[in-house]
Structure formats: structure tokens, C-alpha cells
Amino acid sequence: MEALVCKKLGDPTAENSEEKAIVIEKSYPIPELETPTSVRVRVKATSLNYANYLQILGKYQEKPPLPFIPGSDYSGVVDAVGSAVTKFRPGDRVCSFAPLGSFAQFIVADQSLLFGVPEGCDLVAAGALPVAFGTSHVALLHRANLSSGQVLLVLGAAGGVGLAAVQIGKVVGAVVIAVARGAEKVEYLKSLGVDHVVDSSSQSIIQSVKDFLKTRKLKGVDVLYDPVGGKLTKEAMKVLNWGAHILVIGFASGEVPVIPANIALVKNWTVHGLYWGSYRIHRPAVLEDSVNELLSWVARGLITIRISHTYRLPEANLAFSAIKDRKVIGKVMIVLDDPSSVRSKL
């Protein structure tokens, strides 16, 4: 099979053969069924997340031994099943997520880790759903208990997890404030019905948020969703309510913020670290319920998965460049079995 292999840690966007961290192998062994409950999936689409980029750079918290096939969430069609598989049969449409391995034409997973993709849910979109939407769903609903009427502030709102958080906030009836950079991203967020959008490239975030809160006669922000870190976190803390929840999702800015414990004490803030992948080990039932609910929301049209760029596997370096250069509004996808798929425009 064809697979993308990380041979050494480094920049996945490099084109120089000596500097390349990732290479395409066209005759990589197709994985065998490992247990009686194993399922082999022919991958239709796999999603690029910022974590995949960091992992190849060697800057992610989990560092697999070299060489490895990167990748996390994916969708596809069941190709083969083990003798004890009862949930799926060849031809079924499924999606899932894995610590590694989805940047390939085939992947093997236990049947307990796969989700059936319902009718009405596009298969490529399903491949973009588990990590980005799963992260936001677990963070907002299971950790912060976001509810109708509360005020949600989303930083980095035009990225994969940010757009997911914005939409989930609207589904539950929250007042959603989104922060993004650039007019195109701002306009797209407005099209989703976001209550207030701040363009961080041209506006004072805090003043804009304060003016909006005053206009709506709201005291402050109840939940801060933060995949960015750095200075934005520090600024956003100025508009948090007493008893607010801070969701630490990631550090796309490259800077880990400092949240003063003395202020958290006085204002009764709750700070949640959210490493979504660890739920598979510690709370697998939460992940299962979360992804199943999200798939039903997609099928019912309650949420929309924005595919910003689509690439083929040999174009993976271009896909990573889109992530690196912050050209993305939504998700970057690699589609493996459709040669006519080419990268789309923002």
C-alpha cells in the first residue's frame, strides 16, 4: 500500500530531499488483522491536526519511535474483519482516531474503537470530526458544563478546534464570542451566526469584547476556550466572570501562558487541562458517547464541518504548509482513494 512515513524528526514541509522528514512509500506492507476482533479499514480521508505537525517536528508530548506513519482521525470503508467481529462487516462506512497510522491506504483497529458513519453524513467530513469536534465537545460539555445563556469566548476561532467550539456553543444556546485574524476568517465566522467576532489583526480584543458585553448587558465571559496560549490568554483573562472556566486546549502561539493562581483563587476560576487523546485510556465511554452524538448532529445538520483544503497523499508537504502558514479556515484533509481530488481554495 501507499503510506506516508516519518523517517526522522524535522519539518514536514521541507522539499529538499536531504531535509525531508516525511517520505511516500508506495509498497509499504498492508497491515494484517491482529486479533479476532480486529477490523481493517481502507482509508478514504484523514485529517491533519496541529498535533500531527508538532509530532513530526518532535515537539509533541508523545514521541513515537522512528520510523512511524503519522495520522490520527480518519474515515473509510471496512475492508476485512476478524472472526469475532460482530459490529461491522466489509463495505460498512466507519470513522475513528488512532495514536498513529492513518496517513496510509489501510489501517487496522479493534471494532470497539470504530464508529459507524450514519446516512446523511459525508464520509470525508466524518474523517475530520473525531479529534477537532471531539476535543471541543468534551471540553465544553463534559468539563466546563457550558449551558444555554452562558458566554463563551473562543480564541483561534477559525482553526479546526476553534470552529468546532463555536458551533457547539451555538448548538447548546450559548452567547458565542469568537477571536480570529483576518477579514476572510471574520466573515466566515459571522456566517455561522456567531454573536460577536473580533479581528485580532485590527481590533483591540479586550475593548471589543467589553463593548459587546456592555451592549448585551452581560457581566463577562463564563467559559474561555483557548487553543492559542501566549499573550491572548493573558488578555482574555481580563474579561472573565467570577466562577469562570478556563479550557487549556493547546499552544498554537508557541508560548505557554501563565495563569496566576492568586487571581484564580480570588475569582473562583476553574482551570481545565484538556488532553483529549488521554480519554481513550481513562474515560473511553465519554469519547464514545461524544463522537456518536457529534455524528448524529452532522447527520441532522446541526453542525457543519468546513473542509478548507484537500490534498492527495503525495502532496502531504503542501498540506502541512497550509497548517504551518495559518492559511486554514477549518480542516485540512488528505483524501487517499480519489485521484481527482485536488487542493481547494480558501
CB 102 within 8 A of CB 71: yes
What residue numbers bound the domain in which 148 lies? Answer: 137-278
pLDDT in tens, 264-292: 999 999 999 999 988 988 999 999 999 99
Cell (9 digits) for 313: 497523499
pLDDT in tens, 159-202: 889 999 999 999 999 999 999 999 999 999 999 999 999 999 88
Q: Is residue 141 domain-shared with residue 31, that is, in the same domain?
A: no
Is residue 144 situated within a structural domain? Answer: yes
Q: Residue 310's domain is classified under what CATH number?
A: 3.90.180.10
DSSP conformation class of 227: S
Q: Residue 239's domain is classified under what CATH number?
A: 3.40.50.720
Residue 223: strand pairing partners: 152, 245
Predicted confidence band of residue 17 (pLDDT cuts 50, 70, 90): low
* The total number of structural domains that make up the chain: 2
CB 232 within 8 A of CB 179: yes
Is residue 210 situated within a structural domain? Answer: yes
Q: Is residue 225 domain-shared with residue 246, that is, in the same domain?
A: yes
The residue whose grid cell reads 476556550 is 225
Q: Is the pTM here over 0.85, yes or no?
A: yes
Is residue 292 situated within a structural domain? Answer: no
Could you give the 3-state DSSP secondary structure of residue 62? coil
pLDDT in tens, 202-239: 889 999 999 999 999 999 999 999 999 999 999 999 99
Enumerate residues 6+ apart whose C-beta is below 8 A from 115: 94, 95, 96, 130, 288, 291, 292, 295
Predicted confidence band of residue 308 (pLDDT cuts 50, 70, 90): confident
Residues in the chain: 346
Is residue 180 situated within a structural domain? Answer: yes
Burial of residue 24, with CB atoms counted within 10 A of its CB: 0-12 exposed, 13-18 middle, 19 or more buried: middle
Is residue 298 situated within a structural domain? Answer: no
Could you give the 3-state DSSP secondary structure of residue 162? helix
Is residue 344 situated within a structural domain? Answer: no
